[in-house]
Amino acid sequence: MSTRFKGKVGLITGAGSGIGRCTALQFGREGAQVACADIDIAGAEETVELIREAGGNATAIRCDVSDEEAVNRCVDKCIEEFGGLQILSNVAGIAGFISMEDHSTTEWRRFQSINLDGPFFMSRAALPHLLKNEQSAIVNVASVAGLIGQASCAAYCSSKAGVIGLTRSMAMEFLSQGLRVNAVCPGAVLTPLVSKFTFPEGFDMKSIQRINLDGRMSEPEEIAEAIAFLASDSARSINGISLPIDFGLSIG
């Protein structure tokens, strides 16, 4: 097993399920000490158990990424526990289909606060610690929905396009200080998130077939591997990209 993250500390949000859990496990198996943050503390604790079973070291932190103060406390806890921070991966997020005509302001704000404020709050809180290292990395999980259009998905598409903008701006701002900032843009990934989707009345299901290319879905482990690569020193020349992991959907 590779030890490419030995001596590093990684903070992963959304670590209690799906892509976040696989990402935390990947870093943990490869030697990082991992802070597993999630609003679902039971899920985060299960992930910690899996990392420990694999011989790694991890801790679970309950955190709602849309709550600025909770995010600050989460970063403080990670530093208290592990003494530093080299890698941040903002994975936590929600998704869903809402027709524009019925879209409430409350739902709109909920998407922006978790999917976009979350990575902003987390990155800002982590910055002073990340910048203490010669090399550090942030990897955000955006989505192919931030690159292409998807019907009845205004809040989600906008929040993920925002994550891509945040990634690019931070990449330009901090490269000279040793911090790289990248994102991944998965297409459809087999996780609990997707199985819980509901659709508005009259929704044209053909538009979904387009987004997963008639049934092609990635495994969450594949996304975790790409995140780990972008966070690793092998990607030292890669900065500001939003990597599609989508079978080519976004170029079609």
Ligand X SMILES: NC(=O)c1ccc[n+]([C@@H]2O[C@H](COP(=O)([O-])OP(=O)(O)OC[C@H]3O[C@@H](n4cnc5c(N)ncnc54)[C@H](O)[C@@H]3O)[C@@H](O)[C@H]2O)c1
Summarize as ranges the residues that interact with ligand X (CB under 6 A): 13-14, 16-20, 38-40, 43, 63-66, 91-95, 114, 141, 143, 186, 188-189, 191-194, 220
The residue among 133 and 247 lying less far from ligand X, judged by its C-beta, is 247
25 φψ region: left (φ > 0), alpha (ψ -120 to 50), beta (else) = alpha
Q: How far is the CB of 118 from ligand X (least distance, A)?
A: 6
The residue among 14 and 31 lying less far from ligand X, judged by its C-beta, is 14
Concerning whether 141 is annotated as a catalytic residue, the answer is: no
The residue among 31 and 88 lying less far from ligand X, judged by its C-beta, is 88
Of the candidates 5, 82, 156, 174, the residue annotated as catalytic is: 156
Q: How far is the CB of 240 from ligand X (least distance, A)?
A: 19
Q: How far is the CB of 191 from ligand X (least distance, A)?
A: 3
Q: How far is the CB of 226 from ligand X (least distance, A)?
A: 12
The residue among 31 and 170 lying less far from ligand X, judged by its C-beta, is 170
* C-alpha–C-alpha distance, residues 238 and 234, integer Å: 9
The residue among 30 and 45 lying less far from ligand X, judged by its C-beta, is 45
| SS3 of 34-89 | EEEEECCHHHHHHHHHHHHHCCCEEEEEECCCCCHHHHHHHHHHHHHHHCCCCEEE
Q: How far is the CB of 34 from ligand X (least distance, A)?
A: 15
* C-alpha–C-alpha distance, residues 225 and 248, integer Å: 18
Q: Which residues are catalytic?
A: 156
